[in-house]
Amino acid sequence: MFKSLHKSQAAALTLMVLALLVLWYLGALWLNSDLLINGYERRNIDWSFSQLLADAYSMKRPLLPTPDQIAAELYKSIFDTKISSKRSLVYHTGITLSSTLLGFLMGAVLGIVLAIGIVHNRTLERSLMPWVITSQTIPILAIAPMIIVVLGALNFTGLVPKAIISMYLSFFPVTIGMVKGLRAPDKLHMELLATYSAKPGEFFWKLRWPTALPYLFASLKIAIAASLVGAIVAELPTGAQGGLGARLLSGSYYGQTVQIWAALVVAAVLGAVLVALVGMMERKINRRMGIAA
Amino acid sequence: MDMTVNTQPASSPERAKEEARKIIAIEDLSLVFETNDGPVNALSHIDLDIHAGDFVSFIGPSGCGKTTLLRVIADLERQTEGSIQVDGTSPEDARLNRLYGYVFQAPGLFPWRTIAGNCKVPLEIFGMSKEQQQRHVDKYLELVGLGDFHKKFPWQLSGGMQQRASIARALSFEPELLLMDEPFGALDEITRDHLNLELLKIWRETRKTVVFVTHSIPEAVLLSTHIVVMSPRPGRIAKIIKSPLPRERTLEDRESPEFIALAQEVREALANDHRIN
């Protein structure tokens, strides 16, 4: 029965993908045809629908590139280009990935430290929490160039400023999740440790931390996706030389829509892979903690 | 399995001295909770002595303060008036001296630790060596009949087995005093009977002092050397009944005339008090 369920799920998925592809090709035709028809009329060319169809799917700078164009661009810039080349998407992905991961690590550590402070100290909660929330109401696009410029003046360039913007976005879900998680222990468990005269450190490591772990992983999944967004955003306004953000930016400068879409696809896949990696870590730890998967 | 842990069965003259020793001395103790609806007299003018080796049950309807009294002994609550000494010191010092093991109504096992891992929690906190931890855990899991379940996680065990594991955890650091708050209240009667007998066996073998909260008359009568009947609003002691039953007891003893008479006495003490209210 499960097998057939599996089969029907796979069938539904395939159907979805097919429907999306059909819509995409229709959309590409619709969006690109205006540009083409204008061109035909300007040059007084008699055009037929079949010609329009062929042209709409093979433009150099289409308004909306087709999936096969994006796939070809991906293949070219991933497999047909040396990794060290600035045209290699692997090269740019590596740059974005490194600041994503560094920012994610810093954000996770900062988020956990803030949460520990907030949970253990009422004054810290009152004084920190409003700032933590305010920090997220500021549009990151507005603040990113300033952070980069200020840090540049302090001789921080390259990876670190971008990682800091990733951190800025990723610490927040970790703090919120961990505050809740560290406060999640049962009263009974707290009293049990009290009967052993446990010290605050023992309360933390034996009870609060393990209780908070499921909350931590839920937060980390959001945080790592936010980190990737932060890294890409950090590359946008600063004229960065490398990274997926730089790739998006140069693509839009030169109207290279296929390049933009290829970078977008890589960013999306990268995000999915990163979240899946965190999920794998979570399952591994769950198994060790005896939680049935 | 290494079963060479010394249980130190005290020799009989020492034993006699032990039994005379007051392990809990409560004098004119009251506890008032300040709530939003005004003060609540949880405990009012409690006088109670518990001697080493006793099995004392607190019985009474809900709201009579039996759990609160147990929590005062455990230093989980503080009295507002009167005095309490546990093993000649304050409850706080007794707690710091690891005098008692507390068994809650729910097993309260950490779901992320195995049964053995759960029993090790207090031992780790008390800084016991790894080998010693293992020996203690082996011994007490064996004692509660969970010798084959070291590596199981709590959710893989039945409710009764979980509660046994929590008793093993409380025994694992060999406290002199065992405080039990309706430990079998959530279990079915068959499991409960079984665990009652096991508890009696453990009590006889380990020579512990047990303070046991219950609202079951047969359970109190079956287990106790002393039954403290409590009544609510304000929570106070209505009667302290010394059991005439021998220490060795079986479930069949519940049919004996002494048992039935004792149960009747407890029932009357509870009922009398209700009439006053």
Structural domain A89-288, CATH architecture = Orthogonal Bundle (1.10)
In tens, the pLDDT along B164-185 reads 999 999 999 999 999 999 999 8
Residues 148-207 of B with CB under 8 A from A: 153-155
Q: How confident is the model at residue B120 (pLDDT cuts 50, 70, 90)?
A: very high
pLDDT of residue B146: 93
CATH topology of domain B20-99+176-276: Rossmann fold (3.40.50)
Find chain A residues with C-beta within 8 A of B99's C-beta. Answer: none
What is the distance of C-alpha A232 from the center of its chain? 9
CA distances to A115, A137, A260, A275, B129 from A223, rounded to whole Å, are 15, 16, 24, 9, 40
Is the CB of B98 less than 8 angstroms away from the CB of A291? no
Give A286's contacts (C-beta < 8 A, 6+ positions apart). Answer: A214, A293
Whether ipTM > 0.85 holds is yes
Give, as one character, the DSSP assignment of residue A205.
I
Find chain B residues with C-beta within 8 A of A210's C-beta. Answer: 110, 112
pLDDT of residue A239: 65
Preceding peptide of B39 cis, ω within 30°: no
In tens, the pLDDT along B62-92 reads 889 999 999 999 999 999 999 999 999 999 9
Does the pTM surpass 0.90? The reply is no
| Residues of chain A above pLDDT 90, percent | 60
Please tell me which residue of chain B has the smallest CA distance to A190. B108
- CA gap B107, B164 in Å, rounded: 8
Of the candidate ranges A86-95, A129-138, A235-244, the one whose mean pLDDT is the lowest: A235-244
Q: Is the pLDDT of residue B254 over 90?
A: no
Residue B214 sits at φ, ψ, to 5 deg, of: -155, 160
pLDDT of residue B3: 43
- CA gap B12, B31 in Å, rounded: 39
What ranges make up the beta strands (E) of B162-235?
Answer: 177-181, 209-214, 226-231
Strand, helix or coil for residue B195: helix
- For strand B226-231 and strand B55-59, is the pairing parallel, antiparallel, or unpaired? parallel
**For chain B, how many residues are written?**
277
- CA gap A107, A92 in Å, rounded: 22
Contact between B225 and B247 under an 8 Å Cβ cutoff? The reply is yes
- Domain residue ranges in chain B: 20-99+176-276
Helices (H) and strands (E) in chain A, counts: 12, 0
Q: Is the pLDDT of residue B274 over 80?
A: no
Nearest partner of A119 among A129, A131, A133, A105, judged by Cα: A129
Nearest partner of B91 among B118, B66, B71, B117, judged by Cα: B71
B259: contact with A, CB 8 A cutoff: no
Token digits of residue A70: 């994006």
Give, as one character, the DSSP assignment of residue A259.
H
Which residue bears the tokens 């002393």? B226
> Nearest CA of chain A to the CA of B241: how many Å?
29
Is the CB of B112 less than 8 angstroms away from the CB of A210? yes
B127: contact with A, CB 8 A cutoff: no
- Domain residue ranges in chain A: 2-60, 89-288
Q: Give the pLDDT mean for A159-178.
A: 93
Q: How confident is the model at residue A157 (pLDDT cuts 50, 70, 90)?
A: confident
